[in-house]
Structure 1
Amino acid sequence: MRTLEEVQATLQIAKLKEEDLQTTIHCLSFGEHVSSADYCLMELDDNLCKQIEGGQSLVIRGEKDERAVLCSGDKTYDLKIADTSNLLLFVPGCQTADQLPNNLDSSHVVHAQIWGFCNSYWELRKQRPKLKKLKKLLMENPYEGPTIVGQEEITESRYTMFDLLEMIQASEAEIKDNLKAIHACEIDGYWRLLDFDYEVKLLGHVTQLVDSESWSFNKVPLQNCLEELAPLEPKEMIEHCLNCYGHRYFENDKILYSLYEDKVCRALALLLLQNAVKFNLKEFQDVWQQSVPDGMSTSLDQLKSVALVDRTSRPETICLLRVEDLPEDTQERFNHLFTLREKWTEDDITPYIQDLCGEKQSTGALLTKYARCSVQNGVKVFNSRRPVAT
């Protein structure tokens, strides 16, 4: 253990003035069996630090074949090892300059023991949650409605929220938001995705009742719906359908729903498109308008990110192309899009890359990085920067 005199002699050799330094001098020594493998360091921003100090948890998620991510309660972060040229020492109880007493008249030595050391740390970068796997899991056993008496219900491939948190690389808040977006429903403690045909069947019951009762689509009474449709479907499913396709509000102590025209029209368009590889655009628009409830109007804008129109073919066509079915990785997404179509207009490709944008990033920046721009017949188009295998 060094004495104060030995420290002062070292300062003289180093040509340092004692009066320019703190009066408290830490003398470090290694403890027994110290190894760089004993500890890992992680760099946190102020927000994550406050969450940890407030008693919240950070969770590392990922199965053996996945790259690990770190999740807070509402965000997902990529974990990347960052090397540092400075050796980082772990010294319990060591005080920094702002924590040291400044009223000491003379120098004194404090002996501290190093418990571990490291020359790298985990660096966090906010990233998009990996939610494609969520829908894939729920599609293994979609809910097709109540089981018929005597029919045995399939109980395999059903997942609780705990199961999903163990398997999906996303925060709990992001998982819950996505479950709502894909119209999943909690049934008997398990999160289930409704079979699409069954979901549209529920929607059909609701819209037919609205039409038969001459209700406004902006004032659909919950209680009346439940009473009228109870013989056909479980009340929980009727209410779930209204929550998926409408906005819930109160008026005179009654629960009412205002149905979203765009969502209703889009669901019926998907029903038409799911059984055809390509559809004549004009014929599709006619059939689509006839299939939606009276009083609602269809528009191709309602199909952005779920269907693709080909204006170059004769006749013009439309086909099913849902952004949720595309690869999550940015480069893989662009590769896939350019195998489907060699050249894209900005209006056509934007709905299929918008979800890839990070914070403060635009689709224009993504196109600049992953695509090459040219002008074709006076229209700006984008094609791949690299050869695409077809």
Structure 2
Amino acid sequence: MNTVMEVDEEKVTLPYIRNLEDVKEIINHARLDKRNLTPVTQSFYFPSKKTGNEKFRLLELNPHLLKSIRDGETLFFKGGLHESAVLCSNEKTYEVKETEISNSLLLIPDLKFAAQTSTSPLKSPRIGANSSLERINNDDSDDDEVTIERVLEQKKILKVVYDYFECREIQPRFRKLNDLLMMTRYSGPENEYSIEKKLLFTFDQLLDTVQCSKKQFEEGLKRIRSLELDGFIRVLDYEYEYRVISLMMAIISENSWQLNEVDKVETIAALEEIVPKQIVEGIFNIYAQPVENSDKFEYNEELLARIVALNILKPGLKFRVQEFMSTWQSALVEGLDVHEKYLRGIGIIDKESKPPCVRSLNEENITTNIHDRIDLLFKMKTRWTIEEIEPYLEYFSTPTMNVSSLLAKYARSFMVDGVRRYVAKHM
């Protein structure tokens, strides 16, 4: 049996506490059968308005987050002054939103439920509830003949809850990572004098700041081709990075190496007097991977093609498709090929324009407001396939809202020669 009591603190100096006589009186007034009640009565007391526990909040956890906590993992809330909060496990990132509850909830420590308040060993096979809640016999004996040793427990309501936090999985928010590192991008030792040291960040400082999990953070560092220099995470200026890559490609030609026979030690030694060793080694580790069963390396074709494309595709410039593809191919070492898919997220090909052209559109540099981004995309290009527009909308996708769902909401589609194309919803 549970009773709830609210005290008017303006009229009563000390809060009134119910006793067993009060409980028995309530049972009699309510005409309750004692044989249908468990022997434990819990009396609830609301907290004072002045001492309300604001430090307690309810957080809904999905199976992944719950398992993470049970496995001893630490979860992290992240968010700056002007950012909405996110919750990060070691692998995933969740947006945290406040949601109202239609009915208020009472937060009560050590509350006992029916099975915990009964001394009867019998259980209901149907629902697992204690059978002491049911009439065992139907005789007409007087209630006065029933002797029950009743126990009264006082329970304090810590808080009345009207809302809770729900977590929705989102894409990692890498934009801040790139923005912070671009402030101190490395463009050669001769320019380091102009870098403000207080704007340099270590791995741990960035991990604490950027809204993503540790696993996603490490993937993000690889994605933006960062490296560690004197204990700080740095990214390279595009032009400087391209110059170093060009020197590394020239060494392949000078030594007549096969593409899968690149010597790491010799490459670093050849450039050590031109480029700091830490930089050469860092770039080599980004762009090359070891050849299986060999001490040699080979360069990643896509990464090399993309850095060359970034150097050619300057913002505001247009290139005829064939002219661009030819220039792009000639800038790579013999044996490496270019493909349109390598422009994913950095450039767009508009084959419907007159003449067909290629232009720069780097996902890292465009707005993070979905409405503004949609407007920009359809101004840049009238018609898109899902493969073309996907890299520019992945930022907004979630496990329950993929790019196709986003396009269904923000664009119109139609079929052309068996291919679905998307246009602006309002033209």
Partner of 1:108: 151
- 1:172 aligns to what? 214
- CA pair 72-15 structure 1, distance change in 2 beyond 3 A: farther
Which residue in the other structure is 1:82 paired with?
A: 99
Q: Is the alpha carbon distance of 1:101 and 1:233 closer, same or farther for their aligned partners in structure 2, counting shifts above 3 Å? A: farther
Whole-Å Cα distance in 2 between the matches of residues 314 and 216 of structure 1? 41
Give 2:330's aligned amino acid.
Answer: Q
Alignment counterpart, residue 131 of structure 1, candidates 157, 174, 190: 174
Q: Could you tell me how far apart the structure 2 residues matched to 1:292 and 1:17 are?
A: 90
CA shift, 1:318, in A, is 0.5
Give the CA deviation at 1:147: 3.3
1:122 and 1:316, CA in 2 relative to 1: closer, same or farther beyond 3 A? Answer: same
1:209 aligns with 2:251: yes
Distance 1:322 1:96, change over 3 A: farther
Match of 2:187 in 1: 144
The residue identity in structure 2 corresponding to 1:10 is I
Residue 165 (structure 2) pairs with residue 118 (structure 1)? no
**CA separation in 1, counterparts of 2:116 and 2:332?**
70
Contact 2:315 2:361 in 1 (8 A): no
> Is the CA contact (8 Å cut-off) linking 1:245 and 1:260 kept in structure 2?
yes
CA deviation digits over 1:98-120, x for unaligned, max 9?
66675589553222222332211
**Is the aligned partner of 1:34 residue 2:51?**
yes
Does 1:265 pair with 2:305?
A: yes
What number of residue pairs does the alignment pair up?
383
Normalization by structure 2: what TM-score? 0.79
Shift of 1:26: 1.8
Conserved in 2, the CA contact under 8 Å of 1:34 and 1:116? no
Identity %: 28
Aligned to 2:68, which of 47, 51, 72?
A: 51
Q: Secondary structure at the match of 2:51?
A: coil
- Pairing 1:70–2:87 present: yes
Gaps of 5+ in 1: none
How far apart are the structure 2 equivalents of 1:325 and 1:169?
Answer: 18
Pairing 1:249-260 to 2, within 5 Å after superposition: 251=293, 254=295, 256-260=296-300
Which residue of the partner structure matches residue 412 of structure 2?
Answer: 372
The structure-2 alpha-carbon separation of the partners of 1:35 and 1:271, relative to structure 1 and needing over 3 Å to count, comes to same
1:239 aligns with 2:281: yes
Q: 1:41 and 1:380, CA in 2 relative to 1: closer, same or farther beyond 3 A?
A: closer
- Tell which structure's C-alpha radius of gyration is larger: 2
Distance 2:99 2:57 in 1: 12
Q: Is the 8 A contact 2:288 2:300 kept in 1?
A: yes
Q: Which moved more, 1:110-119 or 1:92-101?
A: 92-101
Residues 3, 51 of structure 1: alpha-carbon distance in 2 compared, 3 angstrom cutoff: same
Sort the Cα spacing of 1:79 and 1:350 in 2 relative to 1 into closer, same or farther, 3 A. closer
Contact 2:170–2:397 (CA under 8 A) maintained in structure 1: no
Give the conservation status (yes or no) of the 8 Å contact 2:315–2:359: no
User: SS of the residue aligned with 2:189?
Assistant: coil
2:234 match: 192
Which residue does 1:304 correspond to in 2?
A: 344
Q: Structure 1 CA distance, aligned partners of 2:221 and 2:250?
A: 27
C-alpha spacing 1:117/1:347, structure 2 compared with 1 (3 Å): closer
Greater Cα offset, 157-166 or 103-112: 103-112
Which deviations, in whole Å up to 9, do the C-alpha atoms of 1:331-360 show, x marking residues without a partner? 333222123233333343233224433215
Deviation at 1:313, TM superposition (A): 2.4
Q: Name the counterpart of 1:291.
A: 331
Q: What root-mean-square deviation, in Å, do the aligned CA atoms of Structure 1 and Structure 2 show?
A: 2.9
Maintained 8 Å contact 2:104/2:160:
yes
* Matched AA of 2:172: P
**What TM-score comes out, normalization by structure 1 length?**
0.86
User: Residues of 2 paired with 1:179 and 1:205: CA distance?
Assistant: 24
Range with greater deviation from structure 2 (30-39 or 328-337): 30-39
- 1:345 touches 1:381 (CA, 8 Å); kept in 2? yes
After superposition, the C-alpha distances for 1:75-115 in whole angstroms (9 at most, x for unaligned) are 22222112223332232333445666755895532222223
Evaluate the alpha carbon distance shift between residue 123 and residue 354 of structure 1 in structure 2; reply closer, same or farther with a 3 A threshold.
closer
2:110 maps to 93
Query: Which amino acid counterpart does residue 181 of structure 1 have in structure 2?
Result: R
Q: Deviations over 1:145-167 (max 9, x none)?
A: 2237xx73523422223432454
Q: Rate the CA distance shift 1:47–1:309 in 2: closer, same or farther, 3 A.
A: closer
Deviation at 1:24, TM superposition (A): 3.2
Offset at residue 319 of structure 1 (A): 0.5
Taking the aligned partners of 1:99 and 1:234, their CA distance within structure 2 comes to 71
Rate the CA distance shift 1:35–1:310 in 2: closer, same or farther, 3 A. Answer: same
Shift of 1:382: 1.8
Asked whether the 8 Å contact 1:34–1:115 carries over to 2, the reply is: no
Q: Is the 8 A contact 1:144 1:194 kept in 2?
A: yes
Which residue number in structure 2 is paired with residue 155 of structure 1?
Answer: 196
Matched, 1:10 2:26: yes
Q: Which moved more, 1:352-361 or 1:110-119?
A: 352-361
CA–CA separation in structure 2 for the residues paired with 1:21 and 1:295: 85
Q: Give per-residue Cα distances to partners, 1:228-248, cap 9 Å, x unaligned.
A: 322222232222212222223
Task: Look up the match of 1:278.
Answer: 318
Deviations 1:205-256 (A, max 9, x none): 222222222222223232232233222222322222122222235636x3x3
Matched residue of 1:328: which SS? coil
Give secondary structure in 2 for the equivalent of 1:124. strand
Q: How far, CA to CA, are the matches of 1:18 and 1:369 in structure 2?
A: 60
Give the gaps of 5 or more residues in structure 2.
Answer: 1-16, 122-131, 133-147
Contact 1:90/1:117 (CA < 8 Å) preserved in 2?
Answer: yes
Q: More deviation in 361-370 or 283-292?
A: 361-370
Separation in 1, partners of 2:64, 2:417: 50
Deviations 1:161-205 (A, max 9, x none): 343245432233322221110001121222111111111122222
User: Within the alignment, does 1:25 sit opposite 2:41 as a pair?
Assistant: yes
The separation in 2 between residues aligned to 1:216 and 1:12, in whole angstroms, is 96
Partners of 2:327 and 2:353 lie apart in 1 by 20
